[in-house]
């Protein structure tokens, strides 16, 4: 009965949807990164602006390119490429060459994400994967520098003192910024290391919007603090400097590459925190947070399996052993 | 008032305002009714009539010898014109009896009985004869549910009506309070339960008041107010909230000493015991943001939904979607000649704006489905493994324990049709298990 030519939508239940979408979540992540972005621009002026724009553009273009080549519909609207681009930029210092940042972004978005099947299928955090590739692939990057060096725009001088990361200063034991400066605003190291407060504000916003839960940031920060104490280091410096906060709020909490249950998240966050200090104490200040998170990314499927919770009624069932053979489960009466 | 609830689940918009204040009305009869012979859980019925036969309202027209089955009855006076497969609301075709409705309907001669004298067996027999099934959607034969193989200590009336939009149970609680109470007591007696408990969500304060004023001071009868959270009306979640008992996976409520029936079913039980009236009509809610005149109507079983929609003023604008049942577990209809059955609690008319996007993306592991699934399953893994054909792994993560409530799909930011994946996974897993044995 094609009643009055009615065309009715057909789909499986349920027929209602919450307003949550991936795009909304990514937009909120970008918003949460706004404070730290602004602080870094305040300190590094055009250097920061240029670096961020390069990474955003590289991220978008890489995703477009890969999806075009793989014949998939564009997914730019989910916003995840922009988040990756911005995060890569924030992980670099202001004097980073644009081609280095661009190639890192390309590797993060193109290889770590799109080649793995796109958002959701990636095992490693794309931004961190891109960021550490510069360390692992030093020869390629130095070769690039030899080609592109003449194409480096002049954006003004950067104060060389502020170039040293607080962690390096800590290592040398000279000219350390005060803890309060480090917390509020201090122009040292990477763009994202300029203000702990700005990162915390962003983290609170994500928490408020229910995009992240407390388990990973808290367990990671507590672990950094405690293990630093055990190693006889100043725990507050280790928490406030060197990307721990960026990692705790924005990287380790990445949906795709973190465990699914709260127990798993606690294990994951704590393990990252321990690794961060081990890296810093053992190998020096460079990118300990990034490597720690990436290493734990690899264990996520395993963590999910070992933290699997019992189903509804399973605990009760194991308590009362005598149960008769069941019939099929019926729904509402 | 202490308000109880269960773990996880989700707070949905209620959408009850469209029809919750509308008293139950009737509509003119359709020209024909189509009565499926298999509209319940269990064995299908065989037809007792053939084309050309004259039938009377309440006459049994289909039966089965199986215990788990439910008789079907003619809902009107009329003439059988066909016994053939007809479109069913789930999208398949089901053998049905088609009856041309007589212009002049006789007065059914119900035999009034004193229900207080009925024995347990007489109550069960009356229910079986009436062909009553769970009217909340599951359509499980009620006489089977009321013959539990284990001792029962609590009979719960499921008065949650947790699906958004639906208000028929709410209206019945207000307009048929005495019948509901009497029916609940009869069902309670049938399972020899010492306790009778009404579980009502707090968004029906008038119903809570109406019931409370009737049961006040009565020993062994209690009303438990429940938080307005979906799926509170699912049996396992209801039992958990009301009695803090968990029905283990693969088990049924009687395994923890409980039997649950919903409001409409209790009222049908009353009518069957009191008058010998079979399950030939029901109250349902016609509503939705696209409905011209949302209301609660009493209709004959087998009435085509197109007739009901028309009598209720149809769509007020462009048609988007027609759903049989509630918005979380109901079935989208592609045609309007499917008919009302015993388990139909509503017809929803959605405007195009209300129609959910169907395109979905990969799981981004946000964890929302895991945090909300009332069965504590892993809808993320189940759906991803079903999508990639790894049904063995979908099984490992709990596919068979999913009761398709739809919570995970509702919260998923990637809009994944997890329930659809689960249905496919269940089919494949069952086939694989059968092959192994
Ligand atoms: S997995 Fe099944 S039981 Fe769990 S929320 Fe989804 S539909 Fe409901
Ligand atoms: S809600 Fe959707 S995207 Fe989030 S974990 Fe579940 S299936 Fe994946």
Determine which residue's CA is closest to atom 7 belonging to ligand 2.
B380
User: Considering the domain boundaries, does residue B269 fall inside one?
Assistant: yes
Average pLDDT in chain B = 94
Q: Which residues of A touch B419 (CB under 8 A)?
A: 12-14
ipTM: 0.90
Average pLDDT in chain A = 84
Is the bond preceding B3 in cis, omega lying within 30 degrees of 0? Answer: no
Model pLDDT, residue A328? 39
Which of A268-272, B10-14, B215-219, B370-374 comes out lowest in average pLDDT? B215-219
Question: Are residues B268 and B152 part of one domain?
Answer: yes
Which of A16-30, A165-179, B64-78 comes out lowest in average pLDDT? A165-179
- The band of A164, judged by pLDDT with boundaries at 50, 70 and 90, is low
Model pLDDT, residue A142? 73
Which of A141-150, A252-261, A275-284, B302-311 comes out lowest in average pLDDT? A141-150
Model pLDDT, residue A138? 74
Q: How far is A322 from chain B (nearest CA, A)?
A: 10
User: Considering the domain boundaries, does residue B166 fall inside one?
Assistant: yes
Question: Are residues B262 and B160 part of one domain?
Answer: yes
Model pLDDT, residue A331? 41
CA distance to A14, A202, A225, B364, per residue, from A22 (Å): 19, 18, 33, 8
Which of A97-101, A285-289, B117-121, B183-187 comes out lowest in average pLDDT? A285-289
What is the distance, to the nearest Å, from the Cα of residue A230 to the centroid of all Cα atoms in its chain?
Answer: 27
Taking CA–CA distances from A255, the nearest residue in chain B reads: B366
Q: How far is A255 from chain B (nearest CA, A)?
A: 5
For residue B254, pLDDT beyond 50:
yes
Task: Tell me the residue range of the domain where B419 lies.
Answer: 368-436
Q: How far is B293 from chain A (nearest CA, A)?
A: 19
Rounded CA-CA distance A263/A299 in Å is: 14
Determine which residue's CA is closest to atom 4 belonging to ligand 1.
B373
Taking CA–CA distances from B157, the nearest residue in chain A reads: A333
For residue A143, pLDDT beyond 70:
yes
* Rounded mean pLDDT, B62-80: 95
Q: How many CB pairs under 8 A join A and B?
A: 213
Model pLDDT, residue A161? 44
Question: Are residues B123 and B255 part of one domain?
Answer: yes
The CATH number given to whatever domain includes residue B149 is 3.40.50.11540
Model pLDDT, residue A327? 39
User: Considering the domain boundaries, does residue B353 fall inside one?
Assistant: no
Atom number in ligand 1 closest to CA B419: 7
* Rounded mean pLDDT, B181-196: 96
For residue B289, pLDDT beyond 70:
yes
User: Considering the domain boundaries, does residue B40 fall inside one?
Assistant: no
pTM above 0.80, yes or no: yes
Domain count, chain B: 2
B245–A316 C-beta distance less than 8 A: yes
For residue B275, pLDDT beyond 80:
yes
Domain boundary among B251, B275, B299: B275
B327–A8 C-beta distance less than 8 A: no
User: Considering the domain boundaries, does residue B288 fall inside one?
Assistant: no
Q: Which domains does chain A have, with CATH numbers?
A: 22-145+162-306 (1.10.3430)
User: Considering the domain boundaries, does residue B321 fall inside one?
Assistant: no
Domain boundary among B228, B253, B275: B275
- Give me the sign of the Cα torsion angle B239, B240, B246, B247: positive
A78–B321 C-beta distance less than 8 A: no
**B382 φ/ψ angles, rounded to the nearest 5 degrees:** -55, -50
Which of A99-103, A209-213, A317-321, B181-185 comes out lowest in average pLDDT? A317-321
Model pLDDT, residue A332? 42
Nearest beta carbon to residue A332 from set B234, B377, B413 = B234
What pLDDT, in 10s, does the model give residues A30-89? 999 999 999 999 988 899 999 999 999 999 999 999 999 999 988 888 899 999 999 999
Compute the distance from residue A144 Cα to the ligand 1 centre, in Å: 51
Question: Are residues B394 and B259 part of one domain?
Answer: no
Strand order in the sheet with B54-55: B32-36, B93-101, B78-87, B54-55
Domain boundary among B247, B275, B303: B275
Model pLDDT, residue A172? 56
Compute the distance from residue A89 Cα to the ligand 2 centre, in Å: 28
Model pLDDT, residue A134? 82
Pocket of ligand 2 (CB under 6 A): B 363-369, 379-380, 383, 411-414, 416
Q: Which residues of B touch A29 (CB under 8 A)?
A: none
Q: Which residues of A touch B240 (CB under 8 A)?
A: 312
What pLDDT, in 10s, does the model give residues B325-350? 999 999 999 999 999 999 999 999 99
Strand order in the sheet with B331-332: B24-26, B295-300, B281-287, B346-350, B321-324, B331-332
Rounded CA-CA distance A101/B178 in Å is: 75
- The band of A166, judged by pLDDT with boundaries at 50, 70 and 90, is low
User: Considering the domain boundaries, does residue B32 fall inside one?
Assistant: no
Q: Determine the residue among A28, A83, A252, A312 to mutate to test chain B binding: the one whose Cβ has the most chain B Cβ atoms within 10 Å.
A: A312
For residue B154, pLDDT beyond 50:
yes
Taking CA–CA distances from B334, the nearest residue in chain A reads: A8
Place of tokens 């003619």: B74
For residue B356, pLDDT beyond 90:
no
């Amino acid at each position: 009965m094609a009643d009055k030519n009615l065309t009715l939508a057909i789909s499986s239940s349920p027929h209602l949807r919450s307003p949550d979408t991936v795009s909304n979540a990514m937009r909120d992540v970008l918003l949460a990164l706004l404070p730290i972005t602004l602080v870094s621009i305040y300190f590094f002026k055009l250097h920061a602006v240029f670096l961020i724009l390069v990474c955003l553009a590289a991220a978008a273009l890489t995703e477009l390119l890969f999806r075009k080549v793989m014949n998939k519909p564009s997914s730019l609207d989910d916003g995840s490429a922009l988040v990756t681009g911005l995060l890569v930029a924030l992980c670099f210092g202001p004097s980073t060459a644009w081609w280095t940042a661009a190639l890192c972004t390309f590797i993060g978005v193109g290889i770590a994400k799109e080649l793995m099947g796109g958002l959701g299928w990636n095992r490693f955090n794309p931004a961190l994967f891109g960021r550490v590739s510069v360390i692992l692939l030093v020869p390629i990057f130095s070769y690039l520098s030899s080609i592109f060096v003449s194409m480096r725009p002049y954006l003004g001088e950067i104060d060389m003192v502020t170039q040293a990361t607080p962690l390096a200063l800590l290592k040398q034991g000279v000219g350390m910024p005060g803890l309060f400066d480090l917390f509020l605003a201090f122009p040292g190291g990477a763009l994202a290391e300029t203000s702990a407060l700005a990162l915390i504000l962003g983290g609170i916003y994500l928490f408020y919007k229910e995009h992240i839960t407390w388990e990973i940031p808290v367990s990671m920060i507590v672990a950094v603090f405690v293990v630093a104490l055990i190693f006889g280091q100043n725990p507050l410096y280790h928490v406030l400097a060197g990307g721990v906060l960026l990692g705790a709020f924005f990287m380790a909490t990445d949906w795709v590459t973190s465990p699914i249950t709260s127990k798993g998240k606690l294990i994951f966050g704590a393990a990252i925190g321990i690794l961060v200090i081990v890296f810093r104490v053992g190998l020096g200040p460079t990118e300990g947070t990034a490597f720690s998170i990436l290493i734990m990314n690899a264990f996520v499927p395993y963590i999910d399996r070992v933290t699997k919770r019992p189903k509804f009624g399973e605990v009760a069932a194991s308590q009362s052993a005598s149960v008769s053979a069941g019939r099929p489960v019926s729904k509402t009466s | 008032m202490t308000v109880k609830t269960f773990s996880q689940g989700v707070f949905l918009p209620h959408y009850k305002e469209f029809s919750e204040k509308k008293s139950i009305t009737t509509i003119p009869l359709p020209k024909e009714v189509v009565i499926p012979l298999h509209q319940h859980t269990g064995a299908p019925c065989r037809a007792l009539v053939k084309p050309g036969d004259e039938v009377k309202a309440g006459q049994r027209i289909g039966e089965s010898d199986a215990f788990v089955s439910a008789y079907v009855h003619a809902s009107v006076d009329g003439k059988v014109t066909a016994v053939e497969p007809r479109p069913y609301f789930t999208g398949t075709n089901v053998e049905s009896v088609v009856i041309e409705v007589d212009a002049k309907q006789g007065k059914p001669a119900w035999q009034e009985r004193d229900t207080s004298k009925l024995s347990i067996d007489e109550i069960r027999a009356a229910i079986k004869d009436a062909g009553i099934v769970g009217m909340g959607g599951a359509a499980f034969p009620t006489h089977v549910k009321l013959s539990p193989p284990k001792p029962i200590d609590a009979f719960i009336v499921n008065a949650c009506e947790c699906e958004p939009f639906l208000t028929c149970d709410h209206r019945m609680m207000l307009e048929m309070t005495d019948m509901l109470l009497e029916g609940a007591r009869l069902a309670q007696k049938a399972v020899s339960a010492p306790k009778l408990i009404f579980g009502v969500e707090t968004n029906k304060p008038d119903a809570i008041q109406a019931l409370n004023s009737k049961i006040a001071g009565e020993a062994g009868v209690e009303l438990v107010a429940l938080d307005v959270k979906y799926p509170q009306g699912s049996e396992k979640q209801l039992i958990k909230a009301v009695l803090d008992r968990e029905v283990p996976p693969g088990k049924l409520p009687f395994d923890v000493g409980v039997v649950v029936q919903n409001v409409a079913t209790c009222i049908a039980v009353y009518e069957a015991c009191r008058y010998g009236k079979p399950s030939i009509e029901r109250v349902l809610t016609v509503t939705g943001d696209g409905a011209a005149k949302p209301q609660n109507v009493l209709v004959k079983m087998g009435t085509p939904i197109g007739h009901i929609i028309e009598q209720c003023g149809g769509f007020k604008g462009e048609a988007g979607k027609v759903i049989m049942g509630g918005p979380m577990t109901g079935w989208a209809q592609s045609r309007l000649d499917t008919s009302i059955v015993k388990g139909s609690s509503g017809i929803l008319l959605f405007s195009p704006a209300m129609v959910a996007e169907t395109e979905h993306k990969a799981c981004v592991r946000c964890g929302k489905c895991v945090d909300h699934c009332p069965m504590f399953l892993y809808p993320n893994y189940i759906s991803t493994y079903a999508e990639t054909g790894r049904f063995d792994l979908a099984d490992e993560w709990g596919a068979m324990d999913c009761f398709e409530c739809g919570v995970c799909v509702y919260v998923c930011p990637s809009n994944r049709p997890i329930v659809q994946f689960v249905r496919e996974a269940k089919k494949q897993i069952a086939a694989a298990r059968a092959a192994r044995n």
